[in-house]
């Protein structure tokens, strides 16, 4: 059997576009001599549709989309992802389903069994898990068809009580197919590949695995669809971070196999590479590793590009301070959208150093993007004069510092409104974690580019951007970071050294380690408790923040839900 794997970038709720992509791919599949075309999880409606699934009209649109695809399956079968109604009044009203279409008919509908309800996933909110498991006979094969999470329940501490493949093996399948929408993080591609391989080794069957690509607001899907033969050898791997298709002959996948095998549980833990990092001295080299930075770079470009294209936006604006965060954000935005579509605004104050403006100008000249210089001194002074009767003789402090940041935020939003631009936020994950930012000032924006990128990773990203020549001026990378809101200010006045701070933050946020565990790694107790207290105390700020492009295994936003008013570690 010849299988056409279609790794596509779908758009949530854009049924005409999604159906068009699927039908076009079916045409190419038929022309290539394919017998079957395999698409991705919920490709008909886009993933994750979230509360759109609560609208009956949305489900009717999904059903109508399936009907529109059916006439194109007379000569080539298709496996597509779409919701399916649950006829039983008990339980949830929908299943997350893989639909098998052939000869213009629905041949089978396979329900997803394992419904993830952690991190960015919330599937049990909407879907009922499968209660029966049947091999799909199709074109002379007996296919064990599963959906995404269904193949992840391995290891000595499984998250679910049922393993769908264990049930399907009783019916003697000869091929596994899994349709997925598995999000990117810089740990996940190797984990994903290993999980597919371990399923092959466990069950002694070849597997074709299709994965979504594209960005849906904060979640990036990286593609990388796979085919493994029955001996666990990688036969085909599709592109990452772009649409791709290929034709696979299942004869390539039927290498001799020893049959089902026991798999070491140690290889099957979730977040495998993250969990293996125990030595605190290895954290920063791991986070900033060139391979990781190359992936993060690609993910952020895709995240920016898809957010703008899918929302119908064309042009961006950001505040360019001459610092490392705004420089990296500007460089990424110019690459994603084209430099002519990204406007930088330099807003020096009386506390800005001369080199900050010079560095920001040099950066925009290197990138060839438009820029404006708008000093904020007069705006800031007007605020102070207006507030003088209330502030009285109180000394200069945080309120005056934040007024500068909010003056910049107001100017950026005014320009954005006037010219129909979208403000890109430049805050990094280290700042967001510790609350080192001003609400309605430098925390303003429509999309956060670096909000899931630690400060040390920002430096590594800058080096990656400069890998083929100097784009970001060297002085921006080497100078001490500063908000420049008071004379001679440095970030180190308020925060620990970033190399040390990021170690603590990574252990607490990604690895969910408590203070005792982090202190036992040899990190100063007072510093650990101070940092963790800052993280928890500033949840109220992050709760008001814009969407963050997710590149790690635990990003701020929908995947990390902690109380605002909690007193834990406070």
Residues marked as catalytic: 41, 112, 148
CA dist 262 and 137 (Å) reads 27
Q: Residue 352 phi/psi, 5° resolution?
A: -75, 135
Q: Where does 272-314 have alpha helices with state H?
A: 272-275, 283-287, 290-311
- Whether the CA torsion 484, 487, 492, 494 is positive or negative: it is negative
| Cα–Cα dist 433/454, whole Å | 9
240 phi-psi bin (left φ>0, alpha ψ -120 to 50, beta other): beta
Query: What is the C-alpha to C-alpha distance for residues 276 and 539, in angstroms, rounded to an integer?
Result: 28
CA distance 47 to 215: 10
> 466: how many CB neighbours lie within 10 A of its CB?
16
Joined together, the tokens standing for residue 38 give 């395999």
Q: What is the dihedral of CA 381, 382, 383, 388, to 10 degrees?
A: 90
What are the residues whose beta carbons fall under 8 Å from the beta carbon of 525, sequence distance 6 or more?
Answer: 515, 519
Q: Which of 302, 148, 291, 290 is nearest to 220 (CA)?
A: 302
CA distance 295 to 223: 12
């Amino acid at each position: 059997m010849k299988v056409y794997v279609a790794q596509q970038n779908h758009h949530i709720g854009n049924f005409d576009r999604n159906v068009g992509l699927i039908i076009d791919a079916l045409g190419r599949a038929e022309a290539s001599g394919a017998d079957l075309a395999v698409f991705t999880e919920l490709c008909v409606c886009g993933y994750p549709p979230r509360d759109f699934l609560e609208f009956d009209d949305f489900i009717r649109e999904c059903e109508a989309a399936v009907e529109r695809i059916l006439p194109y399956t007379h000569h080539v079968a298709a496996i597509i992802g779409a919701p399916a109604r649950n006829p039983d009044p008990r339980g949830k009203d929908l299943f997350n389903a893989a639909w098998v279409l052939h000869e213009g008919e629905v041949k089978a509908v396979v329900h997803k069994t394992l419904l993830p309800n952690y991190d960015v996933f919330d599937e049990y909110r909407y879907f009922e898990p499968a209660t029966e498991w049947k091999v799909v006979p199709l074109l002379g094969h007996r296919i064990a068809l599963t959906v995404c999470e269904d193949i992840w329940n391995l290891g000595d501490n499984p998250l679910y009580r049922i393993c769908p493949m264990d049930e399907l093996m009783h019916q003697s399948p000869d091929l596994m197919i899994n349709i997925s929408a598995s999000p990117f993080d810089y740990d996940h591609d190797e984990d994903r590949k290993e999980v597919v391989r371990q399923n092959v080794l466990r069950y002694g069957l070849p597997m074709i695995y299709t994965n979504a690509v594209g960005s849906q607001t904060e979640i990036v899907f990286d593609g990388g669809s796979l085919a493994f033969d029955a001996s666990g050898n990688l036969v085909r791997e599709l592109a990452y971070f772009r649409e791709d298709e290929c034709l696979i002959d299942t004869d390539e996948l039927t290498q001799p196999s020893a049959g089902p095998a026991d798999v070491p549980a140690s290889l099957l833990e979730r977040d495998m590479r993250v969990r293996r990092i125990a030595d605190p001295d290895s954290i920063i080299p791991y986070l900033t590793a060139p391979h990781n930075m190359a992936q993060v770079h690609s993910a952020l470009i895709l995240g920016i590009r898809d957010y703008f294209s899918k929302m119908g936006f064309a042009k961006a604006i950001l505040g360019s301070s001459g610092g490392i965060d705004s420089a990296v954000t500007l460089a990424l935005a110019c690459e994603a959208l084209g430099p002519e579509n990204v406007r930088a605004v330099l807003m020096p104050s009386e506390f800005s150093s001369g080199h900050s403006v010079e560095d920001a100008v040099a950066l925009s000249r290197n990138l060839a993007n438009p820029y404006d210089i708008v000093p904020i001194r007069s705006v800031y002074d007007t605020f102070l004069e207006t507030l003088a009767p209330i502030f009285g003789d109180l000394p200069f402090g945080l309120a005056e510092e934040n007024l500068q940041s909010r003056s910049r935020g107001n100017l950026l939003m005014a320009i954005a409104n006037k010219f129909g631009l979208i403000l890109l936020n430049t805050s990094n994950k280290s700042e967001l974690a510790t609350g080192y930012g001003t609400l309605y000032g430098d925390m303003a924006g429509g999309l956060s580019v670096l909000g899931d990128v630690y400060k040390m990773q920002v430096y590594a990203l800058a080096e990656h951007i400069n890998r083929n020549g100097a784009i970001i001026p060297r002085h921006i990378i080497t100078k001490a970071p500063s908000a420049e809101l008071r004379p001679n200010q440095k970030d180190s006045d308020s925060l620990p050294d970033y190399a040390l701070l990021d170690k603590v933050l990574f252990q607490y946020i990604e690895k969910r380690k408590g203070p005792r565990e982090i202190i036992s790694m040899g990190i100063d107790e007072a510093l650990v408790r101070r940092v963790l207290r800052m993280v928890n105390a500033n949840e109220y700020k992050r709760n008001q923040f814009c969407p963050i492009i997710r590149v790690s295994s635990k990003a701020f936003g929908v995947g990390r839900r902690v109380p605002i008013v909690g007193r834990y570690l406070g």
